[in-house]
């Protein structure tokens, strides 16, 4: 099933503004029923539901619970938990599926529903197609004796904490590390600081006072300025920025400089290679910085590029047998440890490498020389197929000719926001900024027509 054929599912579940389109209680109830009908197996039907901290999560949790119950599926409620924790617990607790109520890095007025299979992986396209087909059928409630029951899950946080600690060597402790951790007022607000403190780190926490509407607001991986300032103020060794559901990671070194997903991917891949447990094949996306490709090549590793979206990265990793992959935005997948991207687990791998090598984060990222890269988001209420526009094709081709092998240009409609992303990179920062601005202006004009 191609993404163009999907009516409801996007690149990462179903997402939108609360109260608009399908992000409404009535649709989410029907969605829960459809999921239950598709995924139910025999008499042992169990689905986990977790959420981030946005206020609408309570409403959609109740709607999903009602729909699943109507389909005869038992619901196990996890409460606020990071997305990767729900993926892990789905597999560990032998559930048929895990459901996450979250809009990830978006602000509180958005929400969405993401799904994990019984293996803790994203649902295959064929299952999403079945769910969409079931949504077209009338909702029929099972007999009362077969209605699903609801349960609260005790001990889930402790289970996830033990798992995260188990992803680094038993003899690694962070007793001499001072961290500033930004939880984006999201799902990691309790569990991630507890993990780092349990490993001995001196932890200063920010973004850990969720009130339902402050998730991702001027904090987290998409807004790390305050974290950078706090790292410098407290003379911390490292800053850790997660997003609202905990699957993205951006870090800050002791100089207050940002370390993005490409750089973190390089550090982890090189660490695995150093320890002889890695793989020469690393997976990034079409938006991965050219500097990553060249930095990996210096250590005899190859970068494979795929479409943007962690599901595409994971699929490519499985196809080539890779152990590590990720995106510039901070989605990092350590496939030998997790089935999905996990910001906390990725941070643990970087911190472990710092301890084992005696290097600072600033020193670890020094072997990666980033190419200047400009990313402009063009707002688009009605996204059109720009690939069929002659003016856009001509402009993109001209940029490619001018940059040659020393640059890159990419246009793509976001799968999570109503924007078209314009990315240009190359050696000359002034030139690529000029090119990106001109291309963005052209697209703005076309989208207004």
Residue-wise pLDDT for 323-351, tens only, equals 999 999 999 999 999 999 999 999 999 99
Task: Say yes or no: 13 and 142 in one domain.
Answer: yes
Q: What is the pLDDT of residue 76?
A: 97
Q: Mind listing the pLDDT tens digit for each residue in 36-80?
A: 999 877 666 899 999 999 999 999 999 999 999 999 999 999 999
Task: Say yes or no: 29 and 54 in one domain.
Answer: yes
Strands 373-379 and 419-426, by their bridges, are antiparallel
Assess whether 328 carries a catalytic annotation: no
Read off the CATH number of the domain in which 149 is found: 3.40.120.10
The one-character DSSP state at 62 is: H
Residue 402 DSSP SS3 = helix
**pTM score, whole prediction:** 0.91
128: confidence class by pLDDT, cuts 50, 70, 90: very high
Task: Say yes or no: 351 and 389 in one domain.
Answer: no
Task: Say yes or no: 166 and 138 in one domain.
Answer: no
Task: Say yes or no: 402 and 428 in one domain.
Answer: yes
Task: Say yes or no: 65 and 87 in one domain.
Answer: yes
**Which residues span the domain enclosing 84?**
3-154
Strands 238-242 and 249-252, by their bridges, are antiparallel
Choosing from 69, 102, 104, 117, which is the catalytic residue? 104
Using an 8 Å Cβ cutoff, are 351 and 238 in contact? yes
Task: Say yes or no: 112 and 236 in one domain.
Answer: no
- Tell me the mean pLDDT in the region 293-318: 94
With tokens 């619970």, the residue in question is: 65
Q: What is the pLDDT of residue 381?
A: 73
Q: In total, how many domains does the chain have?
A: 3
**Distance between CA atoms of residues 33 and 48, nearest Å:** 14
Task: Say yes or no: 120 and 206 in one domain.
Answer: no
Q: Mind listing the pLDDT tens digit for each residue in 193-240?
A: 999 999 999 999 999 999 999 999 999 999 999 999 999 999 999 999
Whether the predicted pLDDT of 445 surpasses 90? no
Beta strands in 223-319 (DSSP E): 238-242, 249-252, 258-259, 281-285, 302-306
Using an 8 Å Cβ cutoff, are 261 and 328 in contact? yes
**Distance between CA atoms of residues 228 and 142, nearest Å:** 54
Task: Say yes or no: 122 and 261 in one domain.
Answer: no
Q: Mind listing the pLDDT tens digit for each residue in 355-404?
A: 999 999 999 999 999 999 999 998 887 666 777 788 898 999 999 999 98
Using an 8 Å Cβ cutoff, are 119 and 91 in contact? yes
**Distance between CA atoms of residues 133 and 124, nearest Å:** 15
- Tell me the mean pLDDT in the region 309-336: 95
Whether the predicted pLDDT of 161 surpasses 80? yes
- Tell me the mean pLDDT in the region 307-315: 92
User: Which of 367, 391, 409 is the last residue in one of the domains?
Assistant: 367
252: confidence class by pLDDT, cuts 50, 70, 90: very high
- Tell me the mean pLDDT in the region 152-161: 95
Task: Say yes or no: 356 and 397 in one domain.
Answer: no
Task: Say yes or no: 381 and 363 in one domain.
Answer: no
């Amino acid at each position: 099933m191609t993404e163009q054929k999907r009516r409801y599912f996007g690149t990462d579940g179903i997402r939108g503004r609360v109260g608009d389109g399908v992000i409404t209680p009535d649709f989410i109830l029907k969605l829960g029923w459809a999921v239950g009908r598709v995924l139910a197996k025999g008499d042992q039907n169990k689905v986990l539901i977790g959420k981030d901290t946005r206020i609408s999560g309570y409403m959609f949790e109740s709607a999903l619970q009602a729909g699943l119950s109507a389909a005869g599926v038992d619901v196990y409620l996890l409460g606020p938990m990071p997305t990767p924790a729900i993926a892990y617990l789905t597999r560990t607790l032998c559930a048929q599926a895990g459901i996450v109520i979250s809009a990830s890095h978006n602000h509180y007025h958005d929400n969405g529903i993401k799904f994990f299979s019984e293996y803790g992986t994203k649902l295959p396209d064929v299952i999403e197609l079945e769910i969409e087909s079931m949504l077209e059928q009338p909702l029929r409630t099972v007999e009362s004796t077969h209605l699903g029951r609801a349960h609260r899950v005790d001990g889930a946080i402790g289970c996830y904490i033990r798992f995260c600690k188990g992803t680094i060597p038993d003899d690694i402790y962070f007793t001499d590390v001072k961290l500033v951790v930004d939880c984006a007022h999201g799902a990691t607000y309790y569990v991630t600081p507890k993990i780092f403190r349990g490993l001995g780190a001196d932890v200063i926490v920010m973004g850990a006072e969720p009130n339902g509407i402050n998730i991702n607001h001027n904090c987290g991986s998409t807004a790390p300025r305050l974290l950078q300032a706090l790292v410098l103020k407290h003379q911390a060794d490292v800053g850790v920025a997660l997003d609202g559901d905990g699957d993205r990671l951006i870090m800050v070194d002791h100089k207050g400089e940002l370390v993005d997903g490409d750089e973190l991917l390089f550090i982890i891949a090189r660490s695995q290679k150093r320890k002889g447990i890695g793989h020469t094949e690393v997976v990034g996306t079409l938006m991965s910085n050219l500097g990553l490709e060249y930095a990996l090549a210096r250590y005899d590793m190859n970068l494979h590029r795929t479409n943007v979206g962690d599901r595409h990265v994971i699929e490519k990793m499985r196809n080539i047998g890779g152990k590590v992959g990720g995106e510039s935005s901070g989605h990092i997948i350590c496939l030998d440890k997790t089935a999905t991207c996990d910001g906390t687990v990725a941070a643990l791998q970087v911190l472990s490498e710092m301890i084992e090598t005696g290097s600072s984060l600033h020193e670890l990222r020094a072997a990666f020389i980033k190419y200047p890269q400009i990313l402009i988001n063009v707002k688009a209420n009605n996204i059109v197929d720009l690939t069929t526009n002659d003016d856009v094709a001509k402009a993109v081709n001209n940029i490619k000719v001018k940059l040659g092998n020393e640059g890159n240009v990419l246009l793509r409609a976001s799968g999570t926001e109503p924007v078209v992303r314009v990315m240009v990179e190359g050696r000359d920062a002034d030139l690529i900024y000029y090119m990106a601005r001109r291309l963005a202006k052209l697209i703005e004009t076309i989208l207004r027509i």
